[in-house]
Amino acid sequence: MEFSHKAIEKKWAKYWEQNKTFKTRNTSNKKSYILDMFPYPSGAGIHVGHIKGYTSTDVISRMKLMQGYDVLHPMGWDAFGLPAEQYALKTGNDPLDFTLANIANFKKQLKMIGFTYDYDKEISTSNPNFYKVTQWIFVQMYKKGLAEYKNVEVNWCQELGTVLANDEIVEKDGVMLSERGDYPVVKKNMKQWVLKITEYAESLLQGLEEVEWNSSIKDLQRNWIGKSTGVELIFKSDNININVFTTRVDTIYGVSYVVMAPEHQDVLKLTTQDKLEEVNAYIKITKNKSEIDRKDESKPKTGVFTGSYAINPITNESVPIWISDYVLNNYGTGAVMSVPAHDTRDWEFATKFNLPIKFILKTDDQSKAFVGESIHINSELINGLNRIEAIEKMTKYVEEHKIGFVKTNYKLRDWLFSRQRFYGEPFPILHGEDGSIILVEDLPVVLPRIKDFKPSGDGQSPLAKVDEWVNVKINGVKYKRETNTMPNSAGPSWYFLAYILAIAENEFIDIDSPQAKQLFEKWLPIDVYVGGQEHAVGHLLYARFWMHVLYDLKIVNRKEPFKKLYNQGMILGPDNRKMSKRWGNVINPDDVVQTHGADSLRLYEMFMGPFEASLPWSEEGLDSALKWVHRAFRMVNNATLTNDNDQSLDFIYNDVVKKVTDMIESLKFNTAISQLMVFVNAIYKQEGKPIYKPYIEGFVQMLSTFTPFIGEELWEKLGFKETILKSTWPTVDESKLVLSNIIVAIQVNGKLRATIEVEKNTSKEELLLLAKSNDNVKSFISNKQIIKEIVVVDKIVNIVVK
């Protein structure tokens, strides 16, 4: 081996630290903000999956620095949350101390890999200086009417002692369980803080048109927001109005029953005495079902008749009112008009309970629900009309007769923003004995250090037991602090702005200061954001919502925070399964760095395959990366350099620079590395001839983005005194990419028989002459009748013989 990776890594890690090489520059009018989704600092430390994403942004950052950009490439910690709280419950140790120890370990590991993070910009969501701003943003939302304290139905996990968001629960065999721990989750009414993200549903939809994300992520968000425009109709039942939302008002003539969500507020009012016991039992069963289970159309339909009837506002027919768990109370009005002849879900229900089925769209097959396009029948006002015509006419009729109105609905629900945990951001809220709510504007409200971490079991946070913190007197008036804490998703909803505001580790300028506005003007939006696809409708949606609000408050200069978003694929175990202690297939990056070096680890992970692909770990692949790193080092170290260019490498060098630059820009790291390999092979083919020095320098610059330690070492060996990051990225001489000679394929009857090298723009006549005189081609055309000659200049000659 030509070098000791341990010695080189130690040398350059020390150099970068002492010289603050990665400190964010402010010297250029070109900027690039490149961001990783920040990690939760677990006790397990970073894993090779983290390194895949982090190396990708590091490669881009290094190239951008050499291209003369001011680069913001920071790292911080998603430091609040349930794992630290669970640790505290199990051990009795303070979660903050546990978290700080984990952060120290993570930093040590990240520095070991050579990432260009500016630790003067480091943030932690559990630091009071950080969550002071989180609390400030909450205060602004409250003042804007976007935060509300109210009774809501929640997902309650008794074992964890807290409410969970929909994206924190999973469904197994029709039962709701916590994502962490697989504990039972039930529906329960509790007084909670909610943020009115629904008021930004349209803004969030429109914003997706501005960002350069892949279509699948955009579609996930669009579907989660779930916009639909239709009509809200009023079905009357005695003194109760049942509002139903439909996008197909044209099917009103086919309604044979109304079905309500079991938890709809009017269900018990509508239930007759003889049906009350059955309805209550059904409501109780439904509370233990997950939303995923209720939406599953493959499940058998269940329901109960309330005993009451409603009047169809168009036909004046009396239709029965049922309840069923396939109708959700949190979408539309919680009640739907059922048209079994033209909806498969309603067909199954009507068939099971022997309810009428009336076809109002023409079809020759009435043995199943018809959901296609057809003209209307049995529909007095719209007979003979198609869907679009019928909807237009019925909508106008409904509005004119005041039996309904046009409505846009969204599936998106308001964001449940309370957690009954102690290890989260405290709310800047005081509750008066008279039920009044007082904002605390002297921030931060600091989380107390406590010893009793156990949940109360009655739905209150452990903070409720800290009397000296909870009880507050202002001018002699008693108040109690809000003892719920904010969810783990609060800090991550604005943390990307904190890096811009940071002037030292966890020290920030005021978010609403003129200086902050200038900085936001410079650095926003984030140019490249890399992280897992699992955050598509959680973190990404919430972060966009907070950004839209801050834009409306004139704090930031744009609505959308993330210009380009990339999702890296997972690194699986060598057995092709997800890495897990359970399977014993976890790869420890510390071990890999010890045996193969950080450069080999980085190069291997970038070369495994397409960035978005999930691929298994391979020791053979890692060994190959190490061998190639040494081959590249040896090539540069042993090359005889010259300042005279014999032009023999002009094309290959400029072609590689162009391709590598473009490929890094588009995160095609594996093919970029392939191009570097092409260049190394070309140099070895020179067999000891002097190599034009600028071409070797350019190669080292490109190589250093992937392998920064040997990149710096080779740069120094080439005679440079300063870090390679202060050099200028190689440029492409386009004139060198124009080849004077090209290869033309020669075919006989469409089959390749030879290739010839000719000057560009060689005439058809000359190409034919050269083709026919080729020895290999001669053997296929001699003694044959030539019936056609096809010549495409600079590309192909095809001789057709008989």
Please enumerate, by residue number, every residue annotated as part of a binding site for ATP. Answer: 581
Residue corresponding to tokens 């605390």: 440
Give the pair of three-digit tokens for residue 590: 């510390």
Binding residues: 581
Instruction: Mention every residue, 6+ apart, whose C-beta is less than 8 A from residue 584.
Output: none
The backbone region for 102, taken as left when phi is positive above 0, alpha when psi lies in -120 to 50, beta otherwise, is: alpha
- In sequence order, the β-bridge partners of residue 193 are 149
Q: Are 592 and 614 in contact (CB under 8 A)?
A: no
DSSP letter at 564 equals B
DSSP letter at 40 equals P
Using CB atoms within 10 A of its CB, is residue 687 exposed (0-12), middle (13-18) or buried (19+)? exposed
What is the three-state SS of 283-325? HHHHHCECHHHHHCCCCCCCCEEEEEEEECCCCCCEEEEEECC
The Cα–Cα gap between 340 and 343 comes to: 5
**331-334: Cβ within 8 A, 24+ apart:** 331/226, 331/409, 331/411, 332/244, 332/245, 332/409, 333/232, 333/242, 333/243, 333/244, 333/245, 334/260, 334/261, 334/263, 334/264, 334/265
Cα angle 468-474-478, degrees, rounded to a multiple of 5: 60
User: CA–CA distance from 396 to each of 246, 405, 406, 546 (Å)?
Assistant: 15, 9, 9, 38
The Cα–Cα gap between 89 and 85 comes to: 6
DSSP secondary structure, 168-214, as one string:
GEEEETTEEEETTT--B-EEEEEEEEEE-GGGGHHHHHHHTTTSB--
Give the chain's end-to-end CA distance (angstroms, integer): 61
The Cα–Cα gap between 284 and 303 comes to: 13
Q: Which helix (H) or strand (E) holds 369?
A: none
The Cα–Cα gap between 753 and 294 comes to: 64
Give the pair of three-digit tokens for residue 738: 């124009």
Q: Are 77 and 123 in contact (CB under 8 A)?
A: yes
Residue 20's SS3 state is coil
The Cα–Cα gap between 219 and 213 comes to: 10
Instruction: Mention every residue, 6+ apart, whose C-beta is less than 8 A from residue 4.
Output: none
- In sequence order, the β-bridge partners of residue 798 are 747, 790
Q: Can the peptide bond before residue 487 be classed as cis, meaning omega within 30 degrees of 0?
A: no
Using CB atoms within 10 A of its CB, is residue 616 exposed (0-12), middle (13-18) or buried (19+)? middle
The Cα–Cα gap between 695 and 85 comes to: 55
